[in-house]
Copies of this chain bind each other. A is one copy, B any other.
């Protein structure tokens, strides 16, 4: 007999394998339909097993944010993008230790980081593909998509061991409801068109224009010039993805299974998933709370401690009892996955498989050989 969900200790992240498959298939079909290179971001799942499913469905490579993700994914993929500034000696050293068979692309938004990057690449006898990161409105990283971008592209071209490969942007600010995306898409197209022309004028045609983000994923083909997309959250989806209508509620593949541990305080119940399971991510204008009950979306986690989630029962007829199980759809699934070492794959109420969140965390801490680990002098 297979393991029933009921027997698992909680809290535990549960993935509905049918929904996961549907989400994987849908994005692959979208990319094929619009002739976009799909380079999914692994930050959401951090699992080689799911990355493999993405590659089997036609993904051209993978996108990573950390060196731990790169190292883990190098086992299953030889075309990796670090969509993160390659800054810091330790980060560069670890980057360069990736298998030489891996075609490595990095995104830069500053000429200051090029000398160290080039030196590291030359010492490792590697050539790196480089995307110039432009800021299209999120105001996080990225140079302005104008002469600053062209001049950074020139600097890349003129730096040994680096090859200018294209332009990357993250439209994370375009996450509002579908109706308001039109003008943002038009503005994006205009900016990218102008940048592409300037780069052509400078003799630097971008081979790739890489955009992304799940919220805009289904309309990214409308942005002029985009050739590559990097959605991450779509594999699992979450309460935010559903709220902004980038998926249906029934497309939420990952839930946190939790147990009702207390009903002592009237008007609420307490489950054993708090901030150390659900994370404290807001829904940003789309509603209250930090997670909703899968089968009772009107019931949300309104307060949390580290190991306590408090469900407000004032808007429901549902009357949970101590010991009852609930499946919670979190606001932001990527942070939830980071809390756990293992994910459980289910069909219906039965466990079919488990897999490690292999790329969570940061990996081993490398000390100089002379730094002998020893008991600290505290007394």
Measured between C-beta atoms, what is the minimum distance from A335 to chain B in Å?
Answer: 6
Q: How far is the CB of A190 from chain B (nearest CB, A)?
A: 20
Report whether B340 and A361 are in contact in the complex, using a CB–CB cutoff of 8 Å: yes
Q: CA A233 – CA B81 in complex, angstroms?
A: 39
In the complex, which residues of chain B have a beta carbon less than 8 angstroms from the beta carbon of A342? 362, 364-365
Q: Are A87 and B322 touching (Cβ within 8 A)? A: yes
Q: What's the minimum C-beta distance from A152 to chain B, rounded to whole angstroms?
A: 9
Which residue of B11, B261, B365 contacts A12 across the interface (Cβ within 8 Å)?
Answer: B365
Provide the residues of chain B in CB contact with A265, threshold 8 Å: 135, 139-142
Q: Is A189 an interface residue (CB 8 A)?
A: no
* Nearest CB in chain B: distance from A377 CB, A: 7
Contact (Cβ within 8 A) A66 B275: no
Name the residue of chain B whose CB is nearest to the CB of A67. B9
- Do residues B366 and A9 form an inter-chain contact, with CB atoms below 8 A? yes
Q: Could you tell me if A362 and B12 are in contact, using CB atoms closer than 8 angstroms?
A: yes
Q: Mark A60-97, 1 if CB is under 8 A from B, else 0.
A: 00000111000000000000000011011111001000
Q: Which residues of B contact A306 (CB under 8 A)?
A: 43, 65, 334-335, 338
Contact B362 A305 (CB under 8 A): no
The verdict on A21 contacting chain B, using a C-beta distance below 8 Å, is: yes
Q: Which residues of B contact A272 (CB under 8 A)?
A: 84-85, 87-88
Tell me if B335 and A338 are in contact (CB < 8 A): no
In the complex, chain A residues 346-379 whose Cβ is within 8 Å of any chain B Cβ:
351-354, 361-362, 364-368, 370-371, 373-379
A33 at the interface (CB under 8 A from B): no
| Interface SS majority for chain A | loop
Which of B56, B172, B264, B280 sits near A135, CB closer than 8 Å? B264
List residues of A (297-311) whose CB comes within 8 Å of B's CBs: 303, 305-308, 310
Please pick, from B20, B275, B340, B364, the residue contacting A279 in the complex, using a CB distance under 8 A: B275
A303-324: which residues lie under 8 A (CB-CB) from chain B? 303, 305-308, 310, 321-323
Q: Which residues of B contact A238 (CB under 8 A)?
A: none
Q: Which residues of B contact A67 (CB under 8 A)?
A: 9
Q: Determine whether A7 belongs to the interface, using a CB cutoff of 8 Å to chain B.
A: yes
Output the nearest chain B residue to A112 by Cβ-Cβ distance: B322
Query: In whole angstroms, what is the CA distance A374 to B43 when docked?
Result: 24
A17, A43, A135, A280 interface centre (most CB from chain B within 10 Å): A280
Partner pick for A341 among B21, B264, B339, B361, CB 8 A cutoff:
B361
A323 with B113, Cβ < 8 A, contacts A275-B335, A379-B56 known: yes
B112 touches A321 (CB 8 A): yes
Check if A3 is an interface residue, CB within 8 A of chain B: yes
The answer, yes or no, to whether A328 is at the interface (CB within 8 Å) is: no
Given A135-B264, A262-B85, decide whether A17 and B378 contact each other with a Cβ distance below 8 A.
yes
Contacts of A231 in B (CB 8 A): none
Q: Is residue A1 within 8 Å, beta carbon to beta carbon, of the partner chain?
A: yes
Taking the complex as formed, is A246 at the interface, i.e. its CB lies under 8 A from any CB of chain B? Answer: no
**Would you list the 5 A-B pairs with minimal beta carbon distance, nearest first?**
A9-B90, A85-B261, A3-B371, A141-B262, A3-B368
Q: What are 11 inter-chain pairs, A to B, with CB distance below 8 A?
A: A10-B90, A49-B376, A110-B264, A112-B322, A112-B323, A140-B308, A141-B264, A141-B308, A275-B281, A352-B374, A353-B374
Residues of A within 8 A of B (CB): 1-3, 7-12, 17, 20-21, 24, 43, 49, 53, 56, 65-67, 84-85, 87-91, 94, 109-110, 112-113, 116, 133, 135, 139-143, 172, 259-265, 268, 270, 272, 275-276, 279-282, 303, 305-308, 310, 321-323, 334-335, 338-342, 344-345, 351-354, 361-362, 364-368, 370-371, 373-379
